[in-house]
Every structure is written in structure tokens, then in C-alpha cells.
Amino acid sequence: MFKQRLISGVLLVLIAIGAIAFGGYVLWGVLLAVSLIGMFELNRVFGAGFGPAAILGYLAACGYYVLLLFEKDSWILPGIMLFLLAEMIVFVIGYPNIDFKQVLAAFFGVVYVAVMLACIYRVRIMDSGAYLVWLVFLGAWGSDTSAYCVGRLIGKHKAFPVLSPKKSVEGCVGGVLGAALLGFVYALIFRSSLTSVASPLIAFPVICACASVLSQFGDLAASGIKRQFGIKDYGTLIPGHGGILDRFDSVIFTAPAVYLLLISVFG
């Protein structure tokens, strides 16, 4: 199991590095594919799968990514409203064969998976985006690794005993501090190339620390959904890791966090 998990984990990291390094259409396409798979995993949990409401959600996600590609942000809000109207019309036409939970799952899936993950692309196309985008993963996977190591070493006090019994207060704090340290080291190495952010040695640790906090809540939120529906993993696509949502649950929270911090505070 460990070998399988290690191999799939390395392959996943290589794919992520390649997509982010290329950027542009490659990253856009990979994120769209990941979003659609993640939405399918979520819809399957809610019993939607490839039902009418879910299909409309997949089409809406594709439409959102097209608007993002052509930088039509002013069309996004009207598009979301039209999507909601269309979902309600599908519900009415299909009633009672369509469960309203499927409509909710489809709408939630577009925002929770597609829109949130697309923030990776938004960060990548910013000035110095080739460097800034890695803050998303330092705040997610770096935090996760730091929290795991600290928790294993000194973790004693349970942080969320009902929702996630293995998480300790010490591990949570270690995750935040570890992510901040990684952000500082990263800024120290690449500060000469970071022209779009003032004082990266201060900004990056703060961004990574904030992202770490949200990363941990992202992981807990995904765990809460799984517990409510009585499942262990969202899927089996990634051997040893589960599904897309099992691996990207924290990234779903850190991507918009990093993007919003960069444009509102440190932009």
C-alpha cells in the first residue's frame, strides 16, 4: 500500500509541476479535467452521477472555464444566475424523478470544485504568476506534511475529536508554522524574480500561514461530507489516495485564499 501510494503521489506531483510550468492552455485543460472529475465524484455521493441536473452542472463548469480563458469576468455573475434558473427548470420538468438534492449537489459542485480550483489558473496568469502559483501548494500540501510530522512527533491534544480524531492541536499549529516557514524560504530563494509583490519575505509567510488555516478547514469539510454520507473515499482514481477530491480537498480552499490575498492585500 505504501509503495502504491508513493508512486501515485510522485506521479501526481509531476503532473502538477508540468501543468503549472507550462501554464496557459495546458494548465487550463488540466484544471478543467480535474474539476469535472471532482464534480462527478461529488455528484455520485449525492446520487446524481450523470443525471440531468449533474450534466447541466458539467456544462456550466465548462462554460465558466471558457469565460475564464477569454477573460470575460463580467459575464460570470449573469452566467451563474442563468445556471441556477436552468437547474430549477430541470427540477420542475423532471419532478418527481429528480431529487432536489441532485440540483443542490450540481450547483454546489460547480462553485466548490470548478470555481475554487480555477483560482489556480487565475494566480498563474498574474504578474510573476509562475512563482506565485506555488503558494497554493505550499499552503496546502506543505501544511499537510508539516502538520502530519508535528502531530506524529508531539501531538497529544485532539483538535476535532468527532470529525477527525487523528488531528491534534499541535499538528494544526505545526501545519501553520511549517507553511509559513516554507513561504519564507521560498521567498528568500526567488525574491529577485518577484516583482509584483511588495516585501515577499513578509507577504509569503503570511499568505502561506493563512492558506494553511483554510487548508485544514478544507480537509475537515471534505471529511465531514464523507462522514455524513458514510463513505471512506470519494473515488479510486488515484491509487492509495482515493479520488480527486480526496487529494485536492485542501487545495480547493487554498487556491481562492491565495488569489484573494494577492489581489486584495498584497496586490
Instruction: Report pLDDT digits (tens) over 96-114.
Output: 988 898 999 999 999 999 9
Whole-angstrom CA distances from 113 to 135, 149, 170 are 19, 28, 29
Which helix H or strand E contains 118, and what residues bound it? none
Q: Provide the whole-model pTM.
A: 0.93
Q: Average pLDDT of 176-203?
A: 91
Q: Are 187 and 204 in contact (CB under 8 A)?
A: yes
So where are the chain's domains? Answer: 23-117, 128-267
Express each pLDDT in 195-252 by its tens digit: 778 889 999 999 999 999 999 999 999 989 988 888 888 877 766 667 889 889 999 9
Any idea which residue has 452521477 for its cell?
Answer: 49
Contacts 24+ apart (CB under 8 A), 120-124: 120/20, 120/27, 120/31, 120/251, 120/255, 121/27, 121/28, 121/31, 121/68, 122/68, 122/259, 123/255, 123/258, 123/259, 123/262, 124/20, 124/23, 124/27
